[in-house]
Amino acid sequence: MSLPATQHPFVFIDSLADITDRYDTFIVDLWGVIHDGHKPLEGVLHALRALALMDKTVVFLSNAPRRSRPLEDQLSRMGVERDLYTRVYSSGEDAMGALTQEHRGKVCYAIMASIHEPLLEDAGARVTQTLEEADFVLNTGPIPLFVEEHEGLLKEAVAKDLPMVCVNPDIAVMREGVYSLCAGALAKRYEEMGGRVHYHGKPYPEIYERLWDLLGTPDKSRILAVGDSLTTDIYGANGFGVDSLLVLSGLEGYAMHMQDKPFPNREKIEITCAAKHAFPTYVARGFIYGEA
Q: Residues 178-210: pLDDT tens digits?
A: 788 999 999 999 999 999 999 999 999 999 999
pLDDT range class, residue 94, cuts 50, 70, 90: very high
Q: Using CA atoms, how far apart are residues 292 and 283, in angstroms rounded to an integer?
A: 18
pLDDT score of 228: 96
- pLDDT tens digits along 15-73: 999 999 999 999 999 999 999 988 999 999 999 999 999 999 999 999 999 999 999 99
- pLDDT tens digits along 117-176: 988 888 888 899 999 999 999 999 998 899 999 999 999 999 999 999 999 999 988 776
For residue 152, give the amino acid letter. Answer: G
pLDDT range class, residue 6, cuts 50, 70, 90: very low
CATH topology of domain 105-199: Rossmann fold (3.40.50)
Q: How many CA atoms lie within 13 A of 240 on its CB side?
A: 33
Q: Using CA atoms, how far apart are residues 156 and 126, in angstroms rounded to an integer?
A: 20
Q: Using CA atoms, how far apart are residues 89 and 66, in angstroms rounded to an integer?
A: 10
User: Cα separations (Å) of 224 from 30, 89, 160, 184?
Assistant: 15, 16, 42, 25
pLDDT range class, residue 261, cuts 50, 70, 90: confident
pLDDT higher than threshold 80 for residue 265: yes
- DSSP 8-state symbol, 158: H
Give percent helix, percent strand, percent coil of the chain, each to the nearest 5.
40, 20, 40
